[in-house]
């Protein structure tokens, strides 16, 4: 089957960038991204592409070039499904907040709604592609819903998990390490895989496109995130030991990272990982293992999350302890709120948890993040902890200028590794702060020696 029209359900951090790149690389294919969220779609259609809802370096330019030509954003979900030969499901799969598996299993209600909608609307055969990260064997449930429509339409289900990392989504999509496509071993299944391979082959070398069975593909995505997060928790576990022993975690990371069997990536000690995926996907893996009765497997992976929670708590605890065991009514400046640099995504950001702990201790928080609004910050805190009305609003303010955020502060906490923080005028900041002036560098981003020369009390992670 030669695909000429694609529909993607879900215009979020994955659906938006992925489809923009497919549209750019495949001018012969019409790509329509649909979402129930009308505000989000309006933002994707904003005349000024700097206002699109996802911030990723390079993305605004790609959207500007393709939008209105072969890239469309719409709320007309039914029409887009009907017209497309291939439908990507890119909706969110958060951790369940209710019922069985609460706090651990993936909530598949959005996925199921999509399947039912596709089943209801489709009049001709279609390929349905799982782009969302899903528990292994979800395709079975999708197939069961799609195959019981009674209207004779044939569906092929493929798993094509997305490995992009926020902040580097555009280069990750342009030059992926690999593209993974899982499909049914039948003749029809293999033909569906061929159709998706033909799309990626427009810019990805064939040897980087892997074909597997559906279950391997679904499980590989959860596994990739679990392994990446495990590296972070491993180095963070050692950061605490370094602080006790006089070893320096940066030196340890460098020494072990030069071992080619270990490699240098994902070995930076920090206040802990955030983002919408790592925690949710590991919990999902843990839940699946538990549901098969594999308790040792579940416990092994759960420890990655336990370590991460500990690291966030340890950071806020250190701030309180160092500031003479009280932060009540002290101003603490936060540099960064996003879960990592070069994204406006704040889901599960370590900053939220550190702020929550400090608000509990009645500190005042002044946030500067180049891409995150005060509205977003308050929404994140309100979601985590429904304090008495307006309590977060009284304690937390955001600033458009890092110097204003730091002025008069007792301490600065670096929560996101934005490059621009390195280039601030640190002498000017020091002069404007309460003394002694503390910097708690939750990302080991700054040059501690220089800051100490200026007069700061500098506390990195793991040294």
Ligand X SMILES: NC(=O)c1ccc[n+]([C@@H]2O[C@H](COP(=O)([O-])OP(=O)(O)OC[C@H]3O[C@@H](n4cnc5c(N)ncnc54)[C@H](O)[C@@H]3O)[C@@H](O)[C@H]2O)c1
- Regarding 87 and contact with ligand X (CB under 6 A), the answer is no
Q: For residues 312-351, which are near ligand X according to CB under 6 A?
A: none
Nearest distance, CB of residue 106 and ligand X, angstroms: 8
Number of Cβ atoms within 10 Å of the Cβ of 175: 11
User: Cβ of residue 69: shortest distance to ligand X, in angstroms?
Assistant: 23
Q: Spot the catalytic one: 25, 131, 221, 312.
A: 221
Distance CA 377, CA 383 (A): 10
Rounded CA-CA distance 105/82 in Å is 31
CB of 304 to ligand X, least distance (A): 17
**Residues 166-205 contacting ligand X, CB under 6 A:** 166
Q: In this complex, which beta carbon is closest to ligand X, that of residue 114 or of residue 355?
A: 114
Alpha-carbon distance of 416 to 418, in angstroms, equals 6
Of the listed 8, 242, 277, 406, which one is catalytic? Answer: 277
Q: Which is nearer to ligand X, 30 or 132 (CB)?
A: 132
CB of 390 to ligand X, least distance (A): 27
Beta carbon of residue 163, minimum distance to ligand X (angstroms, whole number): 7
| Footprint of ligand X on 97-126 (CB under 6 A) | 110, 113-114
Residues in contact with ligand X, shown as a per-residue x/- string from 38 to 77 under the rule CB under 6 A = --x------------------------------------x
How far apart are the C-alpha atoms of 335 and 434, rounded to whole Å? Answer: 17
Report in angstroms how near the CB of residue 194 gets to ligand X at its nearest.
24
435 is known as an active-site residue: no
Choosing from 32, 95, 122, 132, the residue that interacts with ligand X (CB under 6 A) is 132
- Residues contacting ligand X: total by CB under 6 A: 27
| Site for ligand X contains 91 (CB under 6 A) | yes
Question: C-beta of 282: minimal distance to ligand X in Å?
Answer: 12
Handedness of CA 414, 417, 423, 424 (dihedral sign): negative
Pick 166 or 459: Cβ nearer ligand X? 166
Q: Which one of 56, 162, 218, 407 is the catalytic residue?
A: 162
Q: Which is nearer to ligand X, 77 or 451 (CB)?
A: 77
Nearer to ligand X among residue 340 and residue 410 (C-beta): 340
Give the number of other CB atoms < 10 A from CB of residue 204. Answer: 18
Segment 240-279, which members bind ligand X (CB under 6 A)?
A: 276-277
Are 195 and 127 in contact by the 8 Å Cβ rule? The answer is yes
The least distance separating ligand X from the CB of residue 40, rounded to whole angstroms, comes to 5
Indicate if 361 belongs to the active site. Answer: no
Sites for ligand X among residues 3-42 (CB under 6 A): 9-15, 34-37, 40
Residue of this chain nearest to ligand X (CB atom): 12
Q: Which residue of 24, 92, 122, 270 would you call a contact of ligand X, by CB under 6 A?
A: 92
Rounded distance, CA 368 to CA 401, Å?
7
Concerning whether 162 is annotated as a catalytic residue, the answer is: yes
Q: Closest CB to ligand X among 133 and 230?
A: 133
Q: Is 163 exposed, middle or buried (0-12, 13-18, 19+ CB in 10 A)?
A: middle
In the beta sheet, which residues pair with residue 72? 32
Decide: residue 98, CB within 10 A, 0-12 exposed, 13-18 middle, 19+ buried.
exposed
Going residue by residue from 154 to 173, which x/- string records binding to ligand X, judged by CB under 6 A? --------x-x-x-------
Answer for the pair 428, 404: CB distance below 8 angstroms, yes or no: no
Please give the residue ranges that form the binding site for ligand X (CB under 6 A). 9-15, 34-37, 40, 77, 90-93, 110, 113-114, 132-133, 162, 164, 166, 276-277
| Catalytic positions, written as ranges | 162, 221, 277
């Amino acid at each position: 089957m030669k695909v000429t029209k694609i529909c993607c359900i879900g215009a979020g951090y994955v659906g938006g960038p992925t489809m923009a790149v497919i549209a750019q690389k495949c001018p012969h294919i019409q790509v329509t991204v649909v979402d129930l969220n009308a505000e989000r779609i309006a933002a994707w259609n904003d005349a000024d592409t700097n206002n699109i809802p996802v911030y990723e370096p390079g993305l605004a330019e790609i959207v500007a070039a393709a939008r209105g030509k072969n890239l469309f954003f719409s709320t007309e979900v039914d029409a887009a499904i009907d017209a497309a030969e291939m439908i990507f499901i890119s909706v969110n799969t958060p951790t369940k907040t209710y019922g069985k598996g609460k706090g651990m299993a993936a909530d598949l209600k959005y996925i199921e709604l999509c399947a039912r909608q596709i089943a209801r609307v489709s009049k001709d055969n279609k390929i349905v592609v799982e782009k969302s990260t899903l528990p292994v064997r979800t395709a079975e449930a999708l197939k069961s819903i799609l195959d019981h429509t009674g209207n004779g339409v044939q569906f092929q289900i493929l798993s094509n998990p997305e490995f992009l990392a926020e902040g580097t989504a555009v280069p990750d999509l342009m030059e992926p390490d690999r593209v993974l496509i899982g499909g049914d071993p039948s003749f029809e299944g293999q033909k569906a895989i061929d159709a998706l391979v033909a799309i990626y082959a427009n810019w990805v070398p064939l040897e980087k496109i892997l074909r597997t069975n559906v279950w391997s593909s679904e499980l590989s995505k959860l596994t990739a995130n679990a392994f990446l997060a495990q590296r972070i928790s491993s180095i963070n576990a050692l950061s605490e030991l370094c602080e006790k022993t006089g070893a320096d975690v940066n030196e340890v990371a460098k020494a072990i990272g030069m071992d080619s069997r270990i490699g240098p990536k994902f070995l930076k000690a920090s206040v802990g990982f955030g983002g919408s995926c790592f925690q949710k996907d590991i919990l999902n893996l843990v839940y699946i293992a538990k549901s098969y009765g594999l308790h040792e497997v579940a416990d092994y992976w759960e420890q990655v999350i336990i370590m991460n929670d500990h690291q966030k708590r340890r950071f806020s605890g250190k701030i309180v302890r160092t500031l003479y065991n009280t932060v009540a009514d002290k101003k603490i400046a936060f540099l960064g709120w996003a879960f990592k640099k070069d994204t406006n995504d704040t889901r599960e950001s370590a900053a939220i948890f550190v702020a929550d702990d400090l608000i509990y201790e009645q500190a005042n928080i002044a946030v500067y993040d180049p891409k995150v609004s005060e509205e977003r910050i308050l929404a994140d805190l309100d979601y985590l902890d429904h304090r008495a009305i307006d309590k977060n609003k009284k304690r937390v303010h955001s600033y458009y200028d890092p110097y204003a955020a730091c002025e008069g502060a007792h301490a600065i906490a670096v929560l996101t590794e934005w490059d621009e923080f390195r280039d601030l005028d640190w002498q000017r900041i020091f002069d404007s702060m309460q003394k002694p002036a503390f910097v708690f560098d939750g990302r080991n981003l700054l040059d501690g020696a220089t800051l100490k020369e200026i007069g700061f009390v500098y506390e990195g992670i793991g040294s």
